[in-house]
């Protein structure tokens, strides 16, 4: 198999740039700059790359910078897809390169449409979710092109547990992905501050949703300057979305701790070190979630919460892929390693 180190480095570079793009995108939403540039694909009537730098002020700075970085990542993805097509001898990698290309194009279109349609929830949530998915795809390409992935054979035995580490990490990935969607839903339905206290919710485990309680919450939010009368009253749907994200965080925490304990016991250092990364990211993420609420959505805390969410997702994906590689995947009686070349029965 052709071990092209430059292709791997390029995939890593694309992953790092995508990470920066997610920070920039998070800042657009956190600073409420989504409509600072009202047209697309142009920027205030200019060809986007010819937009005068001295006019990049206020929200325009965040939105236009986000578009510029997105264009750069788009270019990198095209190069990556073509490079994989030409130089990688695994056909499934050609497909993955094509999927990355399709995702970045769709993502760009969703970004443009959310501007043109004035940030509708469905499009903004799809844009936020596809961003994280795209990040996971390019991170996977970086792993698949690494010399380690190409040379490593399955070396670990299944521990005889009911649920294999591979299945456990896949379930954790799905659980975290659901949480990212709930988070995006919360962010783009303006539900982030409808419950202003933490860890309790209006002093209760689950806030009452009666009409009387709702009007009391509205008064409380207006008195605390969290809500303006002009914003309109909060709804039970917003409270339910907010609480679902908090409750699902408990499921996320359980799954991550479980996966970390299992990882910790694995003899291969290469995979066991993910247990520390998981636990570290989980603690930071819960703290940032609480801080997002208690700081009334301070820009840095809120954006960091989005970004650490993305890091948690790719940690899940990369851990699952390591489990596939090191254990092989069990299908009925067969153990199939994740390479077209070797099939061990
Ligand atoms: C590879 C391409 C792109 C990626 C990975 C990406 C990523 C992101 C991310 C992570 C967010 C934050 C979502 C959130 O915090 O909930 C965001 C927001 C946003 N992005 Fe992009 N983006 C891309 C391309 C674009 C393009 C081409 C546009 C064109 C206008 C755009 C416009 C926006 C807007 C307007 C928001 C704010 C949405 C809102 O506040 O509702 N994005 N993007
Ligand atoms: C540990 C698991 C958690 C994960 C993986 C997670 C992930 C996320 C993500 C990715 C977003 C933004 C999604 C996007 O727009 O792209 C988000 C939003 C949010 N999360 Fe979490 N979260 C977690 C726990 C929590 C906790 C414990 C709280 C505490 C209340 C919390 C509070 C929030 C709030 C308030 C928002 C919306 C921010 C806004 O309106 O701008 N999160 N979460």
**How many whole angstroms separate alpha carbon 112 and alpha carbon 226?**
30
Atom of ligand 1 nearest to the CA of 22: 10
**How many whole angstroms separate alpha carbon 183 and alpha carbon 171?**
18
Domain count, the chain: 2
Residues 145 and 207 in one domain: no
**How many whole angstroms separate alpha carbon 311 and alpha carbon 19?**
9
Residues 14 and 133 in one domain: yes
Q: How far is the CA of 128 from the centre of ligand 1 (A)?
A: 7
Domain that holds residue 330: 154-345
Residues 45 and 192 in one domain: no
Residues 33 and 96 in one domain: yes
Residues 200 and 146 in one domain: no
Q: How far is the CA of 280 from the centre of ligand 1 (A)?
A: 27
Q: How far is the CA of 5 from the centre of ligand 1 (A)?
A: 31
Domain end call among 124, 151, 178 = 151
Residues 203 and 331 in one domain: yes
The one-digit pLDDT tens for each residue of the chain (345 residues) are 555 999 999 999 999 999 999 999 999 999 999 999 999 999 999 999 999 999 999 999 999 999 999 999 999 999 999 999 999 999 999 999 999 999 999 999 999 999 999 999 999 999 999 999 999 999 999 999 999 999 998 888 776 788 899 999 999 999 999 999 999 999 999 999 999 999 999 999 999 999 999 999 999 999 999 998 888 999 999 999 999 999 999 999 999 999 999 999 998 999 999 999 999 999 999 999 999 999 999 999 999 999 999 999 999 999 999 999 999 865 434 555 554 444 443
Handedness of CA 333, 339, 340, 344 (dihedral sign): negative
Residues 343 and 201 in one domain: yes
**How many whole angstroms separate alpha carbon 262 and alpha carbon 164?**
9
Domain end call among 119, 151, 183 = 151
Residues 135 and 204 in one domain: no
Domain end call among 130, 151, 172 = 151
């Amino acid at each position: 198999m052709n071990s092209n180190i430059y292709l791997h480095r390029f995939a890593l570079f694309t992953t790092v740039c995508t990470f920066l793009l997610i920070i920039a995108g998070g800042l657009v939403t956190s600073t409420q700059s989504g409509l600072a540039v009202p047209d697309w694909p142009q920027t205030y009537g200019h060809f986007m790359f010819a937009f005068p730098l001295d006019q990049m002020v206020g929200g325009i700075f965040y939105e236009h910078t986000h578009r510029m970085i997105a264009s750069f990542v788009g270019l990198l993805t095209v190069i990556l897809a073509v490079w994989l097509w030409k130089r990688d001898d695994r056909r499934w990698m050609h497909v993955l390169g094509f999927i990355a290309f399709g995702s970045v194009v769709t993502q760009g279109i969703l970004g443009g449409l959310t501007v043109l349609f004035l940030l509708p929830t469905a499009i903004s949530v799809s844009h936020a979710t596809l961003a994280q998915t795209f990040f996971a795809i390019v991170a996977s390409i970086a792993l698949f092109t690494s010399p380690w992935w190409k040379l490593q054979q399955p070396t670990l035995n299944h521990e005889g547990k009911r649920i294999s580490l591979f299945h456990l990490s896949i379930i954790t990935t799905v659980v975290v992905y659901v949480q990212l969607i709930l988070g995006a839903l919360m962010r783009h339905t303006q539900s982030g501050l409808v419950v202003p206290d933490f860890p309790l919710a209006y002093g209760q485990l689950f806030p009452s949703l009666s009409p009387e309680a709702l009007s009391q919450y509205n008064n409380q939010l207006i008195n605390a300057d969290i809500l303006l009368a002009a914003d309109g009253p909060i709804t039970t749907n917003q409270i339910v979305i907010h609480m679902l994200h908090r409750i699902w965080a408990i499921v996320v925490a359980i799954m991550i701790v479980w996966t970390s304990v299992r990882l910790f016991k694995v003899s291969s250092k290469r995979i066991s070190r993910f247990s520390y990364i998981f636990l570290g990211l989980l603690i930071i993420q819960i703290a940032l979630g609480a801080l997002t609420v208690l700081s009334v959505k301070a820009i840095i805390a809120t954006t960091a919460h989005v970004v650490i969410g993305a890091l948690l997702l790719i940690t899940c994906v990369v851990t699952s892929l390591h489990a596939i590689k090191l254990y092989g995947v069990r299908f009925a009686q067969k153990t199939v390693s994740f390479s077209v070349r070797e099939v061990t029965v």
